Structure 1
Amino acid sequence: MEVDATALAGLQSEVSQLADLFKRRLFEDRSKNALIESVQDQVRAVNDLLRYREFEGLFKEALLAIDRLQSESSTPELVDSVVDELLEVFRRRDLVAVDDSGIFDPRVHEAIGTVPASADLRPNTIAAVHRTGYVLGDRLLRPAQVTVVVSVDD
């Protein structure tokens, strides 16, 4: 079987065009990947800057409270005042204490002890708080550690 020279030339032309197309697409893909990497680097840099700026105000306010502790004679009143000041700084940034005044809720409370129920203490209530818990926005930062009242089986 003899190959027609015209058909062969046509196939060679087609292969040449496909090779050229392949090379152009490969170059475009490399360019796109480089652009994507560049955008990702810029996004990371912006996120780092935003994170820094987000914490900058918090740190400045917390350092003022620390300065008060370091520059004044330590008294219980001063310590209470600085704690209140820091909690207010945190509250303005959406950090709030877990409600630990009522019913035990295992989603936000960690039971570290129990006491038996009595006339004054209803079952499944909080008898004592050992460490305050905190919620940041809608996420639990740390649970409150509490003692829970439990029923006593006779």
Structure 2
Amino acid sequence: MSESAKTVTGERADLLETLGKHRYFLRYTAQGLSDEQAAATPTASALSVGGLIKHVTATEQQWMRFAVDGASGMGAGDGGEVDWADGFRMTAGETVESLLKSYEEVARHTDELLTTLDLDSAHPLPEAPWFEPGARWSVRRVALHLIAETSQHAGHADIIRETIDGQRTMG
């Protein structure tokens, strides 16, 4: 969390601490990797450590736009949209360093929002076959989703990293 963010306690602090912990696990998988290693897909999956960091960054940014602006904010961006497949892989010109920097910036912005937004504020989800019609998510539910998404992909990245050079996040 940024130094300028207010001190938080209770549920909000727990959400921020848990999200931060899983972000750390994901970032740790990239520690010491070259750009080539971070782009590598050494498992049966088409995923790479760098691609996962890129995906989680975009996902966090998109869901926080939803938390602020509702479904209309999810498609609105800053021109950084990529095609679906490229959202999961490193593309020309991307480096581990640039992906981690972007992730850090998005995380800082998310943390600032989660210290100020009303956790009970909710918006209808966008229409999609994977969402129940008429469902609404609160800012709290968005934070929980980000924790789950980050945790899941940190695990994927850990397996990929272990395949590359034997390093593991834990153990």
Question: What's the TM-score, normalizing by structure 1?
Answer: 0.25
- Structure with bigger helix share is 2
Task: Please identify which structure carries the higher strand content.
Answer: 1
